């Protein structure tokens, strides 16, 4: 996979929640967090001495943060839905991802989360680093005005639960 050099310069501050041993293995191998995406997940598995699943997770956390205005928490949300790289989002629908996310979480989420899903899907298709999640607010509002939400949408709102 070829990476946009703009990303390597602008998002060198990706956040990764690494164990002490994972950080140590990065140092031993003289690899910066910003260089994670230069390695395939199977290479990271060996370099970091982690499981295949953990290597995929670390790779995914870094890959999703290539998207402008997307941080580690939303990257975790994409992994929660079963995605491990941006390419897997190509051809998906931000509205459908939101509906799946809410169903799996069991509560309605903040509307800006759908804007982030829409950004991620758009980025997978266009790799446009200039767009931010809030650029998709009007698109979401128009879509939801026309099509609404699924009838089986959770009834509890995200503000009503104790998220830690």
DSSP character string of 88-157: GGTT--HHHHHHHHHHHHTSB--HHHHHHHHHHHHHHHH--TT--GGGGHHHHHHHHHHH---TT--SSB
Quote the pLDDT of residue 17. 95
Which one has a higher pLDDT value, 50 or 9? 50
Can you tell me the mean pLDDT for 67-78? 96
pLDDT at site 33: 92
- Residue pLDDT, tens place only, 108-124: 999 999 999 999 999 99
What is the value of pTM for the model shown? 0.88
């Amino acid at each position: 996979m070829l990476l946009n050099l703009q990303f390597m310069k602008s998002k060198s501050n990706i956040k990764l929640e690494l164990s002490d041993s994972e950080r140590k293995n990065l140092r031993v191998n003289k690899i910066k967090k910003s260089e994670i995406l230069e390695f395939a997940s199977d290479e990271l598995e060996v370099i970091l001495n982690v499981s295949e699943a953990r290597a995929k997770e670390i790779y995914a956390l870094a890959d999703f943060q290539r998207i402008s205005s997307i941080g580690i928490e939303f990257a975790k949300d994409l992994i929660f839905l079963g995605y491990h790289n941006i390419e897997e989002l190509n051809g998906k629908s931000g509205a459908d991802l939101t509906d799946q996310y809410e169903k799996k979480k069991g509560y309605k989420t903040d509307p800006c989360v759908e804007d982030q899903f829409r950004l991620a899907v758009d980025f997978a298709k266009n790799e446009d680093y200039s767009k931010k999640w809030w650029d998709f607010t009007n698109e979401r509002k128009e879509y939801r005005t026309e099509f609404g939400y699924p009838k089986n949408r959770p009834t509890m709102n995200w503000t009503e639960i104790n998220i830690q």
